[in-house]
Amino acid sequence: MTDRVLPVILPLPKALRRDASSSRLCLSLWHAIALAAFVALTAMAADAATGQPTRASVLVVLARWSPLLLRGFGFNILISLMAMAIGTALGVFLGLGLVSPRRPVHALSWVLTEFFRNAPWLVLLFFMIYMLPFRIQIGPLSIALPDWVKAVIGLGLPVMANVAEIMRGAVQSIHPGQWEAAESLGFTRNQQLWQIVLPQCLKRMIPPWMNLYAILAMGTTLASIVGVNDVVTLAGQVQAAEGGRTDLLAPLYGYVLLLFFIYSYPIALLTQRLERRYAVHI
């Protein structure tokens, strides 16, 4: 039945339909190929600029060090996942504080949120690296805190504040009629929040939350500045290991850019699609 169309109103051509998912995925692949070509191009330009045939070509060097760089990139992803987990767990509490009708709770959460949202990530990272002890003693238990754990905490805090803000925004976007209707049905304030409002918020929070994750994944490179052996540090070390060849710098950092692009571009596309699907049409 649904396949039949009236002769006067033809269905929209496939390319113009909003959920043309297949073409979108092709696009992402194309972008990646363009970027790979870009890296190869800088590599060849660098090769041509030096013109010394005795040295290994840039592409060979990249291929040789790929396992190490990929492992470093995996470390970045691990840091981002852990920071996201910590940040989300804490951020939900902070967000609940932000929508709380109790004044002191609201004020305290507001101050915390604004502080961590407005402080530069790098300064927060430095703060954690210098301020946290390298070992915590809890009774007989002593936990070592290596730099990367401190970096996870340092990245988790701004994520926490942003998650709280996302949550507040989502709760505010729920029509006040929902609260009133729930109240008139005899729900308590807690029930209104947990059974009526928050379930509706969840869907709206997912796209900005994923966006935040993408930003965090980019932010993990900051850990290299404070001494964590992530992919950016490794790229520098690879260059040093190859005898400090300056022509390697552009291809190496281009390669790191490519890794991040391949990782986060699909996330960005998915976020866009979810945003469109969950968009509120007034």
Partner 1 sequence: MHGIAIWFRHLYETTGINLTIAYDPFDRARFLDGFLVTLELSAITIIGSIVVGVIGAWLQGARLVWTRRIVQVYIQLFRNTPPLVQMFFFYFGLSSLLPTIKNSFGMQEPPVSGFAWACISLIFFAGAFNVEIFRSGIEAIPSSTIEAAEALGYTRLQTYLNVVLPLAMRVCLPALTNNLVNLIKTTTLAYAIAVPELLYVSNQIWSDSVNVPVMMVVLFIIYTALVGLLVAAMKAWERALHRPGLGT
* Interface segment toward partner 1; rule CB under 8 A; list 7-15, 141-149, 202-210, 222-230: 222-230
Query: Binding string to partner 1 for residues 167 to 206, with x set by CB under 8 A, is what?
Result: ----------------------------------------
Kindly state the smallest distance separating residue 1's Cβ from partner 1, in Å.
Answer: 35
CB of 24 to partner 1, least distance (A): 12
Of 56, 92, 119, 174, the one binding partner 1 by CB under 8 A: 119
Q: Is 221 in the site for partner 1 (CB under 8 A)?
A: yes
Contacts to partner 1 from residues 263-282, by CB under 8 A: 264-265, 268
Nearest-approach distance from CB 193 to partner 1, in angstroms = 27
Residues 278, 210: Cα–Cα separation, whole Å: 14
Among 33, 123, 181, 279, binds partner 1 (CB under 8 A): 123
Q: Which stretch binds partner 1 (CB under 8 A): 16-24, 138-146, 166-174, 252-260?
A: 252-260
Q: Which residue has the tokens 């191009």?
A: 41
Can you tell me whether residue 135 is helix, strand or coil?
strand
Judged by CB under 8 A, which stretch of 2-10, 54-62, 88-96, 250-258 contacts partner 1?
250-258
Q: Which residues of 110-119 are buried (b: 16+ CB within 10 A; e: fewer)?
A: eebbeebeee
All residues at 6 or more sequence positions from 178 whose CB lies less than 8 Å from its CB, including other chains: 196, 197, 200
Q: How far apart are CA 268 and CA 44, in angstroms?
A: 30
Query: How far is Cα 232 from Cα 225, in angstroms, rounded to an integer?
Result: 9
Residues 6+ apart with CB under 8 A from 125: 151, 154, 155, 222, 223, 225, 226
Is 15 one of the binding residues for partner 1 (CB under 8 A)? no
CA distance 234 to 68: 8
| Number of residues near partner 1 (by CB under 8 A) | 44
Among residues 224, 228, 234, 274, the one that binds partner 1 under rule CB under 8 A: 224
Contact 197, 167 (CB under 8 A): no
Query: Which string of x and - marks every residue 41-80 that binds partner 1 (by CB under 8 A)?
Result: -x--xx--x-------------------------------
Structure-token pair, residue 198: 């928050």
- C-alpha pair distances (Å), 213 with each of 83, 208, 217, 219, 220: 9, 9, 6, 9, 11
- Residues forming contacts to partner 1 in the complex (CB under 8 A) are 31, 34-35, 42, 45-46, 49, 115, 118-123, 126-127, 130-131, 214, 217-222, 224-225, 232, 235, 246-247, 249-254, 256-257, 260-261, 264-265, 268
